[in-house]
Amino acid sequence: MEDKILIAKRVAQELNSGDLVNLGIGLPTLVASYLPKDTDVYFQSENGIIGMSAVPGAGLEDDDLTDAGGIFIGALPGACSLDSCMSFSLIRGGHLDLTVLGGLQVDEKGALANWMVPGKMVPGMGGGMDLTTGAKRVIVAMTHAAKGASKIVKTCTLPLTSVRRVNLVVTDLAVIEPTEEGLVLKETAPGITVDQVIAATEAKLIIPAQVPEMNIA
Amino acid sequence: MEDKILIAKRVAQELNSGDLVNLGIGLPTLVASYLPKDTDVYFQSENGIIGMSAVPGAGLEDDDLTDAGGIFIGALPGACSLDSCMSFSLIRGGHLDLTVLGGLQVDEKGALANWMVPGKMVPGMGGGMDLTTGAKRVIVAMTHAAKGASKIVKTCTLPLTSVRRVNLVVTDLAVIEPTEEGLVLKETAPGITVDQVIAATEAKLIIPAQVPEMNIA
Amino acid sequence: MNKAISTTQAVEMIPDGASLMIGGFMGVGSPRRIIEELVRQGRKHLTVIANDSARPDVAIGKLIDAKAVDRLIASHIGTNPETQRQMIAGELKVDLCPQGSLAERIRSGGAGLGGALTPTGFGTVAAEGKTVIQVDGKDFLLEKPLTADFALLGARRADYRGNLDYSLTARNFNPIMALAGKIVIAEPNEIVPVGVIPPDVVITPHVLVDYMIERRQTNGR
Amino acid sequence: MNKAISTTQAVEMIPDGASLMIGGFMGVGSPRRIIEELVRQGRKHLTVIANDSARPDVAIGKLIDAKAVDRLIASHIGTNPETQRQMIAGELKVDLCPQGSLAERIRSGGAGLGGALTPTGFGTVAAEGKTVIQVDGKDFLLEKPLTADFALLGARRADYRGNLDYSLTARNFNPIMALAGKIVIAEPNEIVPVGVIPPDVVITPHVLVDYMIERRQTNGR
């Protein structure tokens, strides 16, 4: 299975019926495709809609209906439009149950860096800082390493997105839960050993007696 | 002419076409009845509508359409509904061209007291403090004296509604403009002399060389 | 999920001593059936956050009549002599707040903001005990955020999912209280199928509404 | 009063060096005809406040392409490499601001508030140079209000008087910018008779709109 799909499938298991969910651009967007059966969640796009769906078919695209990346989407029955203040009142006010975001680094305190590489990439934080600060749950979906370097680090060297501790990190190698005590290894990817995860991780991991394998169909 | 009607008619001359106007409860409400011909203003009721009108007729009252006093009103074509935040964003943000408010006292600095008599009357400030602070122009419409005591005073003894200098005071005796230099007597009521106004006023008045009489039909 | 419940069920969730935001302005747009049921079930020691207490025997006025309220945060009580009587008698604590500031305090609580910085009330008794913050040489009062255990809303229509719209001046505080109540209960005049309220017409998104009061059924009678 | 004017007239009102709030999100909901006319008339040294600069040759991206902008206040420029190029070359000053904070700053400017107190960005580089204000033990950044000489809005419909509504995700920043521009110019897709947009459906009240761009007339062609 492709790494991205593995990650998306595992994150999708964290969504519960009735949740209001915001998916970041890129990998997180894939999560919508792997929702467990009978899980009825509401997707918010922070540019201003609750109830977004995939574009319903060719010829049905609407110039006035896109996601935050400017990509055409559709809307489900019961959708509602939001201005930018209302959209972020929901996000910042704790009304958003879950956001899934990509990551550049997560550190031992559970802090996320995902918006800037000084001197290289300055795209702006968009809604990411508000999402990370305000959502009830933040899940980081990312590859475990980039160009051989672990993205789970002792202390973020890249500029932080928020000082808030994220709730879960899902990578192609592991599921890790940041806690007050540190990063707890909760699951390993299919075929990956605990030692392989430790070896691929710069940060110190807390290893429980039992570390199950991800249950991915 | 009844004092209240005189005051309302004179205040009505201050309204200009296109203005967004908020009238306080009581005497100020009368102003709407004496609009000059062809003056097309928009009345806001701070409980949440622009475009209020008198109730259009018996049997047309609507439980969901009242003014801030809970009295049935009507709505003109082009009216729009506002939530309380939007209504006061218009008021506080300087989008309201004019508010006409009743007064208990106005002092030499042009400060208004109109919401409370300690130990006697504590109705709450409602929207009055926001209106006095935020409207582009504030006109106070009140009788010149109450129970023999001048309501145009050296310094307000009653709790202030706002430290903001109001723009105009219209009474049954005079039109007075608070300025940085003090209270300027602009007009006298029909049949009232400048000396009579001075005698009825506790505050010091600045008297220009010419003080015309109110031009009331 | 079906969010429709009876007024009895709704009020059974609300304990004595709860804090309630109640929408409406002089009773217009208030959730009247919930209010009456609060009185019927004899709820006591409530904190009520609302624009006003209407008049005796009207909307929130009924809670005042029933001595169900220990504390009222409002902008105006002048229309309810019973509220004033209880306040002067020391039976009811009343915190008065300018109307626009009250609206922003509720919005701040619901939007995760630290409060509102408003020029309203600066230099008056409404500023007593409040922090003054200078921004670029201008003075603003810090008006702190408000939240409540429950927000009780009146609405024109809810769809099956809980999207709400409002009618004319019955909108008032309802949409902002929808953000600021931990549990939000709406009392719509009508409940309509999903889609009847189009996306651009929804004022309160369904995700904010936890429960709604079921329709009265007349079966044509 | 008839508020309808041509794009030429609208843009003639806007001088070089003006500050402009421009609605839209990745071009969706942006006033495209006004933007094109700003480029055609060669306006320069503009300050633009907007969520993003879209993509090259799209909406606000056209102003960037034309080097019409000296300063951009936005939440995201990642989709426009030309914006990044001009920023790195020192031709364009870019102030980045979290999207929710940007929205609240605009609303604060338009609503007469002293700024927004937000937890977003606390402890990050977005906090640099900003005042931290503690409210009941929690830390908030003071994000200062924004206003502009002009607010340029895209809208779905305007009625003859200037009441506006919006379509789906084309709403975004437009309604809050309507509060914060000294002169507000709307570019609706349609202009309809008064009453076609009912009171409860109006999002931006006509009193905020100073001018609107006239309809394109096709006379059936």
pLDDT tens digits, A76-107: 999 999 999 999 999 999 999 999 999 999 99
Tell me if C110 and A89 make a contact (CB, 8 A cut-off).
Answer: yes
Q: For residue B217, is pLDDT > 80?
A: no
Residue C221 belongs to some domain of the structure? no
Residue A14 belongs to some domain of the structure? yes
Residue A33 belongs to some domain of the structure? yes
Which CATH number is B62's domain given? 3.40.1080.10
Q: In Å, what is the CA distance from A39 to each residue of A13, A16, C208?
A: 9, 6, 19
Q: For residues C86 and A26, give the distance between their C-alpha atoms in angstroms, rounded to a whole number.
A: 60
- Nearest CA-CA distance, residue A35 and chain C, Å: 18
Domain count, chain A: 1
A217 touches D: beta carbon within 8 Å: no
Q: For residue A120, is pLDDT > 90?
A: no
Mean pLDDT of C50-72: 98
Tell me if B92 and C75 make a contact (CB, 8 A cut-off).
Answer: no
Confidence of residue B153 (pLDDT cuts 50, 70, 90): very high
Tell me if D28 and A123 make a contact (CB, 8 A cut-off).
Answer: no
The one-character DSSP state at C97 is -
Share of residues in chain A with pLDDT > 90 (%): 91
Domain that holds residue A148: 3-206
Residue of A46, A61, A202, A213 with catalytic role: A46
Give me the pLDDT at residue D215, please.
Answer: 87
- The chain A residue lying nearest D156, using CA atoms, is A64
Domain count, chain D: 1
Residue A152 belongs to some domain of the structure? yes
C118 contacts on D by Cβ (under 8 Å): 112-114
Residue C85, SS3 per DSSP:
helix
Domain that holds residue D97: 4-116+145-213
Q: Which residue has the higher pLDDT, A123 or A173?
A: A173
Confidence of residue B183 (pLDDT cuts 50, 70, 90): very high
The DSSP secondary structure of A75-140, one letter per residue, reads EEEEEEE-BHHHHHHHHHTT---EEEE--SEEETT--EE-S-BTTTB----TTHHHHHHH-SEEEE
Chains that touch B (3 or more CB pairs under 8 A): C, D
Q: For residue A217, is pLDDT > 90?
A: no
Tell me if D111 and B92 make a contact (CB, 8 A cut-off).
Answer: yes
- The chain D residue lying nearest A84, using CA atoms, is D172
Considering the entire predicted model, what is its pTM? 0.98
Residue A197 belongs to some domain of the structure? yes
Cβ-count burial C83-116 (b if 16+ within 10 Å, e if not): bbebbeeeebebebbbbbbbbbbbbbbbbbbbbb
Which CATH number is D84's domain given? 3.40.1080.10
Q: For residues C144 and C108, give the distance between their C-alpha atoms in angstroms, rounded to a whole number.
A: 8
Mean pLDDT of B58-76: 95
Residue C208 belongs to some domain of the structure? yes
Residue A215 belongs to some domain of the structure? no
What number of C-beta contacts closer than 8 Å exist between B and D? 53
Residue D185, SS3 per DSSP:
strand
Residue of B46, B61, B108, B202 with catalytic role: B46
Residues in chain A: 217
Tell me if B134 and D112 make a contact (CB, 8 A cut-off).
Answer: yes
DSSP H helical ranges for D150-189 = 174-180
Residue B214 belongs to some domain of the structure? no
Cβ-count burial D160-193 (b if 16+ within 10 Å, e if not): bbbbbbbbbbbbbbbbbbbbbbebbbbbbbebbe
Q: In Å, what is the CA distance from B175 to each residue of B158, C15, D45, D88?
A: 22, 56, 47, 61
Residue C134 belongs to some domain of the structure? no
C51 contacts on B by Cβ (under 8 Å): 47, 84
Residue D135 belongs to some domain of the structure? no
Q: For residues A211 and A193, give the distance between their C-alpha atoms in angstroms, rounded to a whole number.
A: 9
D176 touches A: beta carbon within 8 Å: yes
B38 contacts on D by Cβ (under 8 Å): none
Confidence of residue B75 (pLDDT cuts 50, 70, 90): very high
Residue B212 belongs to some domain of the structure? no
CB-based burial of residue A138 (10 Å sphere; 0-12 exposed, 13-18 middle, 19+ buried)?
A: buried
Give me the pLDDT at residue A202, please.
Answer: 98
Active site (annotated) includes residue B2: no
Q: Give tens-digit pLDDT for D152-194.
A: 999 999 999 999 999 999 999 999 999 999 999 999 999 999 9
Both tokens of A4, joined, read: 């991205």
